[in-house]
Amino acid sequence: MKNFKWDKKYLYWGVTAFCVVVASITFFWLLNTWNGARRAMGVVISALAPIIYGFCIAYLLNKVLVIFEDRVFKKLCQKLFKKNPVKARKAARVFAIIVTLLLALGLIAGIFSIVLPELYNSVVTVVSNSRNYLQSAINWLQKAFDGYALEPVAVEWINTISQKVVDWLENDVLPNITKLLGSITGGVISVISTIFNLFVGLVISVYVMYNKETFAAQAKKLTYSIFRVKTANIIMSELDSINDAFGNYIVGTVIDSMIVGLINYIFMALMGMPYTALVTIIVAVTNLIPVFGPFIGAIPSTLLILLENPTQALIFVIFTVVLQQVDGQILKPRIHASRTGLSGFWIMFAILFFGGLFGIFGMVIGVPVTTVLYNLFRRLNNRRLASRSLPEDTAFYRSLESIDPDTLEPTYAAPDVGERESKVTAILSKPITFKRTKKSAAPEEKPPEDKSGEEK
């Protein structure tokens, strides 16, 4: 036993195998008890909801906070507290937090003060004019079926359905419209637990914004205490990249939605379209969702305008298509200085996957989260390739069959005959042009001297 020595290699293998077995058992246990694990996770998340809300609010408002602090209150507080720079810095932070929160709360209050009355008036108008809308539809259908054998049956069927719909709207919906809106508002916004969590989260966000440097320093301290210095440096670099990508995407998307909403409001106001404020807010909010957002907002907006004026509804549809083309081709590329780098497939995958998990909120955050994960794995993959002296360019691996393990020389598949023919055709189809080059003037040649006379 005295000559016994630990072999670190086999010890490492044993610990790794043990961790793999434990992780596999845990994974299968979670699959078998998924409902219970999900409930337990829900309890934990609900308990931490105020803290999660606080950090999310602080993160979303941090960009605005930095603008107010650096460009407005920093110089002002330096003049007020010339002899105490520490107090000047703290005062600038406090004033910036107060103005940022007031601006955010005022914006939210303004949106709801516009949306709720417009929504109430819209519902009342639709219900009150429902009989006229149905009568117009009946007249149109009667003209369409005029002269056909199915006309009596179709008219009787339409009259029965329309009468039931009108009775339901007038007797059930309209008297209880206030209660209906109250229940909708209470279910979405005014739930007591949600209000409490948001209020506590707002208080926590103040602490986070005021002490954000301290929290960042503590996170760095913990990172360097757990990992090696080289690994910790990589983690810090990746977190900075993630923060920049995610923050810039959110700010750019919000600015783009505000511009689209402003253009939509100006156009609808000039054209005298109904429900201008309500439709504008719907368009601006749904524009936060990439790809599908404009269609999600355009459908209910078009239906609202269609009930008042079909011609204006058609004009609105044409305007929305043009506006989305301008937004996609001009506004978004200029606002987002660097694009996501994702292909259309990954954007669709992000929206569908995260939308299926978290609903509308998942559709909003799906693209930036996927962008962050995609760039993270791309950088990790490039580091692994660089450590093995392999190229990072994707074009190197097209038509690649194998790489020699000793010399790292690649072996490519033979190009397809059709591909060769297309390349030859492309080369031959190019016009051949000849460039004329200016030649320098040759020196004048002197005629040979005639020495015949001298000889003679």
For the chain, the domains span: 49-210, 240-331, 340-387
Q: Beta partners for 400?
A: 412
pLDDT in tens, 58-95: 888 888 898 888 888 888 888 888 888 888 888 999 99
Residues in the chain where the model's pLDDT stays below 50: 1, 417-418, 420-421, 423-425, 427-428, 430-446, 451-456
Q: Beta partners for 410?
A: 403
Residue with structure tokens 């977190």? 239
User: Which one, of 406, 404, 346, lies nearest residue 373 by Cα?
Assistant: 346
φ, ψ at 402 (rounded to 5°): -160, 165
The count of other CB atoms within 10 Å of the CB of residue 276 is 19
User: Which one, of 287, 305, 308, 312, lies nearest residue 297 by Cα?
Assistant: 287
pLDDT in tens, 103-154: 988 888 887 787 777 777 776 776 676 667 666 766 766 666 665 555 566 6
User: pTM for the complete prediction?
Assistant: 0.59
Q: Tell me, what's the pLDDT at 343?
A: 66
Q: Beta partners for 378?
A: none
Q: Which tokens sit at 181? A: 């809106």
Q: Tell me, what's the pLDDT at 234?
A: 84
CB 258 within 8 A of CB 327: no
User: Which one, of 64, 124, 51, lies nearest residue 98 by Cα?
Assistant: 64
CB 107 within 8 A of CB 285: no
Q: Tell me, what's the pLDDT at 387?
A: 82
User: Which one, of 98, 114, 24, lies nearest residue 61 by Cα?
Assistant: 98
Please provide the size of the chain in residues: 456
Would you tell me the crossing angle of helices 177-188 and 85-128 to the nearest 10 degrees? 150
- The rounded distance, in Å, linking the Cα atoms of 380 and 53 is 31
